[in-house]
Structure 1
Amino acid sequence: MDEKDWTAICILHEEKNLTRSAERLFISQPALTYRLKNLENEFGTRLFFKVKGGIEFTSEGTHLAEYAGEMLKKLQRTKDFMLNMQNEVRGTLRLGVSSNFAQYKLPKLLKEFSTQYPNVQFNVNTGWSTDIMHLLDSSNVQLGIMRGNYDWYGRKTLLHKERLCLISKKEVELDRLPELPFINYKTDSSLKNLINGWWHDRFSDPPMVTMETDRQETCKEMVKNDLGVAILPEICLQPGDNLFTYGLSYKSGDPVLRNTWLMYNEDSLQLSTVKNFIDFLSTRTKI
């Protein structure tokens, strides 16, 4: 087996579908089938079998996919450290970043960092913070930027605090909020729990939810068209939105804040790309 074999078996194990796997590998399906057949001949066992709508792995195939995944991680770590032995800062920085931070903050930061270190490439995965935590736990990324509070056994640095805000097209009275049409959106459990905690602190009646959207930006567009009110993190709001915004506070008067954290393993500091990016972020007084 070589790197191409490891990659093929891992992607196939993820997709459970030959056509989608071939597309991700940028090869034809017959070429992928031929490679997999050679692997089965090499190990003298069946790795998978076809089922309706896809394939299922045998126990031998699952074991081989796990082995391939570990080998790819070891190879990547070896490449990282080999590049790190050179004097200049070069290599690939693998980041896992929550979607909102990736949309509103990350592009400018990466542009500035790449200007200072032109020999650094970026491999960026974005998604909900729970997804990024999984990538960090499995060592698929070197650094994770997550929003909300999560337990982490490695290094953890607070990057940013932001307030949750009620947004509306017209002026509203917060005490009348349970009477107003409320627009929800899909998000991770951390933000959902923060919003629900504030609501239960202030009101005994539930919100009058009239819409459920799949994204925060869709939710904001509905509010712009005066179809209801919503609660969004401050990072999502721009001056050009032309909305009324109300920073949320608990009954105690404390603001409702959401934290953004930088998380990584101690071992990653041995890599010049990682160390320099962490130092770069630490010099930013406002992220």
Structure 2
Amino acid sequence: MNERDWHILKVLHEHRNITKTAQSLYISQPSLTKRIQQMEKEFNLKIVERGTRGVQFTPQGEYLAICADEMLIRLRQIKETASNMGQEISGTLRLGVSNYITLHKLPGLLKIFRERFPKVDFHVTTGWSKEVLDLIYKEEVHVGIVRGDYQWSGSRHHLFEETICIASKEEIDVRNLPFLPRIDYGTDALLKTMIDNWWRDNFSGPPLVGMEVDKGDTCKEMVRNGLGYGILPSVLLEKDQNLRQMDLKDKQGNPLIRNTWMLYHGKSLELKLVKEFVEFVKGVDFMRDI
């Protein structure tokens, strides 16, 4: 079996559906079915069976699907190690990056790095910070950038910190928050927990949520138009002088802080490409340079 075959098994195991797998791999269903049959012939066993609930993996097929992840990682490591033997900084840098960083910081960061090393390609996966953390654990990315103080036993570098703010169009009294419309938005679990804990420490009842939107940027736009208040990270508000901002504070009167980190496995620095990128990021002031 070649790398393509292992990738087919991985994707098929995720979708459990021939049609969706074929669409995801941009191949025809007959070609996919034929390739699976060839794998079964090579191993002399049944890998999958079709049923009313889609594709069902046999016990042997389940084992091969688990091996697919290991094989793909190993094949990628072999390619990276071989490329690393050359003198030139080249290859594909695999990054996992939180949504905010992807939108507001990453394009400028990669532009500068590409100018220094023009033969470098990027494979970027974005998502919530917890999802990015999982990618780093599984070694599916070389470097991750996450927001929040997640537990991590590998190497890390602090990028910047921010406060968490109440943002509103007009000045408001914090004591009146339970009676004012709040605009909630999708965010990662750590920030949500931080906000919920602050609320429980200060109010006995739930907030009056008047609107739920997809992300913090959308929430800010709703707040700018006077549709309610939002509780947002300060980096989303630093360039908007038209909004009133108040830091959330703990019982001791200290502002609540959210940190952003670069995370990676120490052994990844054996790859010259990764080492160059890590050192490059360490030299960047995220609040000024990008």
* Pairing of 1:1-287 with structure 2 (within 5 A): 1-52=1-52, 54-237=54-237, 239=239, 242-287=242-287
Moved over 4 A (4+): none
Percent identity over paired residues: 44
In angstroms, what is the RMSD of aligned CA positions? 1.7
1:160 is paired with a residue of what secondary structure? strand
Residue pair 1:160, 1:259 contacting (<8 A) in 2 also: yes
Residue pair 1:157, 1:263 contacting (<8 A) in 2 also: yes
TM-score normalised by L of structure 1: 0.94
Cα deviation for residue 53 of structure 1 reads: 5.3
Residue pair 2:105, 2:286 contacting (<8 A) in 1 also: no
Residue pair 2:98, 2:146 contacting (<8 A) in 1 also: yes
Residue pair 2:168, 2:230 contacting (<8 A) in 1 also: yes
Deviates more, 1:17-26 or 1:7-16: 17-26
2:140 is paired with a residue of what secondary structure? coil
Cα deviation for residue 244 of structure 1 reads: 2.2
CA distance in 2, matches of 1:83, 1:125: 22
CA distance in 2, matches of 1:239, 1:266: 36
**In the alignment, residue 269 of structure 1 is paired with which amino acid?**
L
CA distance in 2, matches of 1:66, 1:111: 37
**In the alignment, residue 160 of structure 1 is paired with which amino acid?**
F
2:111 is paired with a residue of what secondary structure? helix
Deviates more, 1:234-243 or 1:244-253: 234-243
Deviates more, 1:248-257 or 1:84-93: 248-257
Residue pair 2:159, 2:285 contacting (<8 A) in 1 also: no
Residue pair 1:104, 1:235 contacting (<8 A) in 2 also: no
Cα deviation for residue 70 of structure 1 reads: 0.8
- Unpaired runs of 5+ residues, structure 1, are none
Residue pair 1:98, 1:127 contacting (<8 A) in 2 also: yes
Tell me the number of residue pairs that the alignment of Structure 1 and Structure 2 aligns.
287
Deviates more, 1:52-61 or 1:148-157: 52-61
CA distance in 1, matches of 2:82, 2:124: 21
**In the alignment, residue 169 of structure 2 is paired with which amino acid?**
K
**In the alignment, residue 66 of structure 1 is paired with which amino acid?**
I
1:239 is paired with a residue of what secondary structure? coil
Cα deviation for residue 218 of structure 1 reads: 2.9
CA distance in 2, matches of 1:58, 1:234: 51
TM-score normalised by L of structure 2: 0.93
